[in-house]
Chain A
């Protein structure tokens, strides 16, 4: 009986610790470091794999480089850290084995420091939401681009 009680206490302590750590990692509003760059979760909701993802402060995209190390699959995502105005450009095939085209946001995405955003990439448009919470780069499970500490 004594051994069982000791094990239950140990499990409860571990669970409590993980909950506290998780709360710190997700950074609820009001406890976001104000000097940190905004986080943007960029999700590929299109029907195509994205060959390149470029974020650039001004159009055109020709002088910028892709933040992807490999093609971004359908339904996969990446977190970008930055602030200010950014244009987002993705490269994908028009159709299988067809020509590659560049899709650029028709206007800049404005990122405020300390905020979290979500940018969905569709076939021929983008959708921005600011309901997402700022993501701590330490707890992010997806690839990271940009400068979290800038």
Chain B
């Protein structure tokens, strides 16, 4: 009841529609998209051949194909293409067992199978669905539309085949993929065009020969064809060069290119301790910043997909860690006299700032091995590509060395750590292979949990009232380690080899 009074029924219905709509509106693509078959040459002259298409079976059709009677349409398209491509004595399509059959005809039996693969990004789809509105445009859907043709021929009882051709046509739906099927159907259309052409070409080659066992057989081995992507799409395999590689590409192509970067970063170290109150509190922290530039080799990602890089590295950071300033209230119990203290140097008597935080210099090093996982997303065409990468790594084992400079002394020590650190990284950029140029921006976060000190070091907790002494004081706390994190960024320009 409470819901109905605060949430009008109209709004409830609208919300329900928004929840259900995106999933229901996801349209189903036609897999039997009719090919635009254009015969760009005179039909092959085979006046002595009578051809009978005895079977044309289609499997894996979609609901949309069934609704639009796609089977008949694709069969008619196939027969039409046969008619345009081959000048035969006759071409017939006997239906049923009572059809009149010509014993001299070559029988052709065709099986057409259509299917597709589909890939999505979880993150962008999550944004699309949240908050159940289905309005976020960038929801890439990509995969391959596959058309597989298997055919057999029989003449005077002698059977040949099956012969097979498989055509994969990549497709990408970049925006509003839950509502659009056009690019998928276009990929199937291209697949059918290529498969039909391939079948007819090979059939023509076979029929041009006298169908006898003694004749040399044309190449009828199974064939798999992968079509090039058309337009802007998700790149799932590297583009092949259309021209022979130049000198630089030939000898240095594997290295990617020469990268010039502006770099910057910050490191943060923090120590927490349990004070008398029992709660853990931040008692010391430090921050170090850096910036500069760097030249290195870099290769932009050339295809979308997951990758699993090993995490192997060495880390070194010098950073100061310090407590914090705090004014401590002076409590005066009844019947007593409080006397503040003047703080000075015992050798000179010069005043000293007591509230200056306790500080140490830390030199922290780590050599680690681990495992990472990354995901590249490359979208574009052969000349221009947008790329992005998300990467995470977990350091399985590491050896840590810490060097702490105290007031007038240093302590050092090393230790092994398991599963105590990791990295997160991301980059976005544009690559222009045609002009051998790329730009990118990258950020990397690295985190080390509980970097142990060689010995506990002292800080002061936040001021708290000590009921036993009847005074406010900052409790001395000794911490045995610190967490360390770094955040680095870079902006780069790359000259691709």
Residues of A within 8 A of B (CB): 45, 47-48, 52, 60-62, 91, 94-107, 109, 120, 122-129, 131
Contact = CB atoms under 8 A, between A and B. Distances in A.
A101 B407 contact: no
Given A100-B346, A102-B346, A102-B349, A125 B407 contact: no
Nearest to A109: B339
Contacts of A100: 346
A106 B344 CA distance: 11
Given A94-B358, A97-B407, A101-B345, A47 B475 contact: yes
A127 B338 contact: yes
Contacts of A107: 339
Contacts of A48: 476
Contacts of B475: 47
Given A45-B469, A47-B473, A97-B406, A124 B345 contact: no
Interface centre among B328, B341, B471 (most CB of A within 10 A): B341
A94 B345 CA distance: 11
A14 B13 CA distance: 97
Contact of A62 (B339, B349, B476): B349
B3 interface: no
B338 A98 contact: no
Given A95-B476, A97-B407, A97-B409, A125 B346 contact: no
B458 A123 contact: no
A123 B345 CA distance: 16
B330 interface: yes
14 contacts: A60-B344, A91-B346, A96-B457, A101-B343, A101-B346, A106-B339, A107-B339, A124-B343, A125-B471, A126-B339, A127-B333, A129-B335, A129-B336, A129-B337
B406 A98 contact: yes
Most central of A95, A104, A126, A129 by chain B CB within 10 Å = A95
Given A98-B406, A122-B473, A123-B474, A103 B458 contact: no
B336 A128 contact: yes
Interface in B348-383: 349, 352, 354, 358
Nearest to A131: B335
A52 B473 CA distance: 22
B231 interface: no
A60 to B, nearest CB: 5
B213 interface: no
Interface of chain A: mostly helix, strand, loop or mixed? loop
B254 interface: no
B340 interface: yes
B342 interface: yes
B471 A122 contact: yes
Contacts of B474: 123
Interface of B: 328, 330, 332-333, 335-346, 349, 352, 354, 358, 406-409, 457-460, 469, 471, 473-476, 478
Contacts of A106: 339-342
Contact of B328 (A45, A98, A124, A126): A124
Nearest to B354: A124
B24 to A, nearest CB: 67
B406 A101 contact: no
B346 A105 contact: no
A103 B469 contact: no
A101 B339 contact: no
B341 A126 contact: yes
Given A47-B476, A95-B476, A123-B474, A103 B339 contact: no
Contact of A126 (B338, B345, B358): B338
A122 B339 CA distance: 10
Contacts of B407: 95, 97-99
B354 A61 contact: no
Nearest to B407: A98
Given A105-B339, A128-B337, A95 B458 contact: yes
Contacts of A122: 469, 471, 473
Nearest to B356: A94
A101 B342 CA distance: 10
A4 to B, nearest CB: 46
Smallest CB-CB A-B distances: 8 pairs: A103-B341, A126-B339, A102-B346, A128-B337, A95-B458, A60-B349, A98-B407, A96-B458
Nearest to A126: B339
A58 to B, nearest CB: 12
B352 A101 contact: yes
B354 A101 contact: yes
A142 B406 CA distance: 35
Nearest to B460: A95
A101 B409 CA distance: 18
Nearest to A92: B346
A124 B341 contact: yes
Nearest to A99: B407
Nearest to A48: B476
Contact of A105 (B341, B358, B460): B341
Contacts of B354: 94, 101, 124
A96 B358 CA distance: 10
A104 B344 contact: yes
A94 B339 CA distance: 19
Contacts of A97: 406-409
Contacts of A94: 354, 358
